[in-house]
Amino acid sequence: MSKKLRANWRIGLLSVVLVISVILSGLVWVMPYRYEHPNEATAPRVTSVATMAQENLYVPTMVVKTGPDREQHLLFNQPQNVVLTARESLRKWTLQKGKQVSADNPTAYREYLRQSNALVLSYPSAVAIATFNTTFNQKLSAKDLTLVNRIVIPLTGQARIYLLRDQGTVVYRYQVNAQRLTKLKASLLGGRRLPVEYRWLNNQLVLTYPHAITLPTYRAAIEQQNVDSLAQTLLNSAKGKRLAQRVEGNQRIYHNGSDKRLVYDQAQGTLTFENYLSQPTRYSLQTVYAHFFRRLQQTGIIQDQLQFDTFDHAKQQITYRTTVEGFPVYNEDNYGTVRLRESETGVESLRFSCYSLTTPLPTKQSALTLPATAVVFNGLQAVGKLKDVQGLRLGYWWHSDPTAKEVTVRPTYLVKYKGEWVPYQTLMHEGGQPA
């Protein structure tokens, strides 16, 4: 037996090295795939330089503080900026040992949001855990929680943090190492606070305002981007070389003759860019947010005050929106909004406005008062529209004026009605205008 083995050891060894080389060749062969789609379970590694701007884009925008008696307040206008301070602090902490503590239980979910002496930071809509990792310099696995809507930070020094996902009402608890709360607590001082309550409305978690609220107006400069230079950037044209363009009614159409096209609607100030890719690319949930960030960087669009707003996974469509002090800004012509989409058929599309909000200016208008949320809901109920309401948020309205150099944005409730966010007044009576 041993003699036979000794005689054939070369054959055996040859088979082993052959099998290894086949396996390794296979691995090397599929590597381009690995570049574009990092393993779902291990979120991309964080680098200090490349991801800095991305962490400014994907941030929670709403801050709610729960007091000792579980009373809750929305915080805004704090000079230190609570979200920025939380980000700076969290980047130094280490979150680990994630454990699911609740799921499929809306009541329990709301209780986690209402735990006493805690801070709730909410994203406008869910982000991938990889995106959370980039913003907060963590290494959490997407095997546990794939998406995050809210971060709950107890302020009592329990060395715990909760990450919450609205869809499926999932709550994960993480242990925190090296937690220091001093700066975060100090950042809560000053600014404004409004009493709030979390409520479930048609299966959506909504932040409601039990009393009438008075909110400041904000003023800012408007910058109109040069469409010709945007066209040059988007259509990858060499500087100085004139792009083919034609005018059809209100539209000016730029094209590079093959795969790229930009349509500028001069009346609305909107631009629609289409890029026909040779083949469709499908991005995983953990990589798609970073992909859209990189695409946004390449567009040349002004990104002042722009923040992540919504992502539709089925459509592969992301929306970035202008914000003031964490509040979303809406406009009838989508001023200050950027929408990017990777369609299944291989068309990459980008829709945005040539108007952006830039430098903040001192406001000249006084504060405005909005009714309690219950009053709005009653009004919607009275006109029979409440059942189709999928969400409500406090935001600011930017009234369109193509000639204006600056604008005062005014607070209003935005209601998500049949998939569209509209000012609540327009639903009360047809053709109504926001305050």
**Which residues contact residue 362 at a Cβ distance below 8 angstroms, ignoring those fewer than 6 apart?**
219
* The only residue of 1, 5, 28, 238 in contact with other proteins, by rule CB under 8 A: 28
* Segment holding 189, helix H or strand E: none
Pairing of strands 389-397, 327-330: parallel
Tokens for 99? 């454990």
Nearest Cα neighbor of 223 from 335, 143, 125 is 335
Q: Which is nearer to other proteins, 49 or 314 (CB)?
A: 49
- Give the separation between CA 398 and CA 222, rounded to whole angstroms: 11
* The only residue of 1, 2, 6, 31 in contact with other proteins, by rule CB under 8 A: 31
SS3 call for 121: strand
Centre a 10 Å sphere on the Cβ of residue 44 and count the other Cβ atoms it contains: 15
* The only residue of 37, 40, 73, 77 in contact with other proteins, by rule CB under 8 A: 77
* Segment holding 147, helix H or strand E: strand 147-154
Shortest distance (Å) from residue 5 CB to other proteins: 15
Tokens for 257? 């003759």
SS3 call for 280: coil
Contacts (CB under 8 A) with other proteins, residues 332-361: 358-361
Shortest distance (Å) from residue 365 CB to other proteins: 14
Q: Which is nearer to other proteins, 84 or 267 (CB)?
A: 84
Shortest distance (Å) from residue 326 CB to other proteins: 8
The residue whose two tokens read 């709301």 is: 110
Binding mask 275-314 for other proteins (x = CB under 8 A): -----------------------------x----------
Contacts (CB under 8 A) with other proteins, residues 85-124: 85
What is the sign, positive or negative, of the torsion defined by CA atoms of 46, 52, 57, 58?
A: positive
Instruction: Please give the full DSSP string across 309-346, using - where no structure is assigned.
Output: EEEETTTTEEEEEEEETTEEEE-TT-TTEEEEEE-TTS
Q: Which is nearer to other proteins, 324 or 422 (CB)?
A: 324
**Which residues contact residue 90 at a Cβ distance below 8 angstroms, ignoring those fewer than 6 apart?**
136, 137, 138
Shortest distance (Å) from residue 284 CB to other proteins: 15
Shortest distance (Å) from residue 362 CB to other proteins: 5
Contacts (CB under 8 A) with other proteins, residues 43-62: 44-45, 47-52, 56
Pairing of strands 389-397, 406-417: antiparallel
Binding mask 223-252 for other proteins (x = CB under 8 A): ------------------------------
- Give the separation between CA 150 and CA 61, rounded to whole angstroms: 10
The DSSP 8-state label assigned to residue 162 in this structure reads E
Q: Which is nearer to other proteins, 24 or 244 (CB)?
A: 24
20 forms part of the interface with other proteins (CB under 8 A) = yes
* The only residue of 13, 41, 103, 383 in contact with other proteins, by rule CB under 8 A: 13
Contacts (CB under 8 A) with other proteins, residues 247-266: none
* The only residue of 61, 72, 78, 322 in contact with other proteins, by rule CB under 8 A: 78
Phi then psi for residue 322, to 5 deg, are -65, 140
Centre a 10 Å sphere on the Cβ of residue 365 and count the other Cβ atoms it contains: 12
Phi then psi for residue 84, to 5 deg, are -65, -40
40 forms part of the interface with other proteins (CB under 8 A) = no
Q: Which is nearer to other proteins, 91 or 282 (CB)?
A: 91
Q: Which is nearer to other proteins, 205 or 357 (CB)?
A: 357
Q: Which is nearer to other proteins, 22 or 383 (CB)?
A: 22
Shortest distance (Å) from residue 220 CB to other proteins: 9
Tokens for 126? 């869910």
25 forms part of the interface with other proteins (CB under 8 A) = yes
Q: Which is nearer to other proteins, 32 or 431 (CB)?
A: 32
Binding mask 169-198 for other proteins (x = CB under 8 A): ----------------------x-------
Site stretch for other proteins (CB under 8 A), options 6-14, 106-114, 136-144, 271-279: 6-14
Shortest distance (Å) from residue 227 CB to other proteins: 19
Nearest Cα neighbor of 75 from 185, 195, 208, 179 is 195
The residue whose two tokens read 């729960």 is: 66
400 residue type, one letter: S
Binding site for other proteins (CB under 8 A): 10-11, 13-14, 17-18, 20-21, 24-25, 27-28, 31, 34-35, 44-45, 47-52, 56, 77-81, 84-85, 191, 221, 304, 324-325, 358-362
